[in-house]
Amino acid sequence: MFTTERLYLRGFRSSDARLILDMWNNIDVQPTISNEYIVPRGPKFLDHITASAEDALLFLTIEKRSETGSDETVIQEEHFVGTTSITMGNPKNRDGIFGIMIEPKFWGLGYGEEVTRFVVDYCFHSLGLHRVSLLVFSGNERAIDLYKKVGFLEEGRKRKVNWIDGQWEDMIYMGILKEEWETASSA
């Protein structure tokens, strides 16, 4: 388990899947992470969540730090903040794909930045990655601002690729290289 200033980042437990499903089904969250039909997902989707967690190079459940630690087998709902992940498409190129999902009630508190900085640093210093990539929809200004603040650069754009709320939005490709992270961290 990892610890940041205000958070625990720990390994996925099967009991987390229900909380992740509830977060996924939140109408403010699902359109930011899915280009499929925006519809509530039922219990079958729990298997997809568990499979995604197990297939990732790194899949962490984010918890608020508490006095009692995070040893409970089942997380207390009020401590569940979200998830973050790194998946590897092609290990030869050491290019990890970053993902993050935070409960809307915790948005704007700096948790996204705290988690993203930790994971990017861990990718370069412990996982041996050479770059971290991500995909974000152009309508997701909150996420784009966060990624730019951490040091990601826009690398490309697939135009009008996602139909959402009666209009098309672009898919933006962003990335950060190890040397860029080192330079930003030492500034």
Ligand X SMILES: CC(C)(COP(=O)(O)OP(=O)(O)OC[C@H]1O[C@@H](n2cnc3c(N)ncnc32)[C@H](O)[C@@H]1OP(=O)(O)O)[C@@H](O)C(=O)NCCC(=O)NCCS
Residues near ligand X (CB under 6 A) are: 29, 32-33, 100-102, 107-113, 134, 136, 140-143, 145-146, 149
Of residues 60 and 134, the one with the C-beta less far from ligand X: 134
Residue number with the smallest Cβ distance to ligand X: 112
Nearest-angstrom CA–CA distance, 185 and 131: 15
**Is 13 buried (19+), middle (13-18) or exposed (0-12) by CB count in 10 A?**
middle
Which is closer to ligand X, CB of 107 or CB of 122?
Answer: 107
Beta bridge partners of 63: 8, 80
Give the separation between CA 106 and CA 79, rounded to whole angstroms.
11
Nearest approach, Cβ of residue 73 and ligand X (Å): 25
Which burial class, exposed, middle or buried, applies to 51 when counting CB atoms under 10 A from its CB (0-12, 13-18, 19+)? exposed
Minimum CB distance to ligand X, residue 128 (Å): 24
Q: How far is the CB of 79 from ligand X (least distance, A)?
A: 16
C-alpha closest to that of 20 among 107, 81, 109, 88 = 81
Nearer to ligand X, 17 or 150 (CB): 150
Q: Which is nearer to ligand X, 2 or 173 (CB)?
A: 173
User: How far apart are CB 174 and ligand X at their closest, in Å?
Assistant: 9
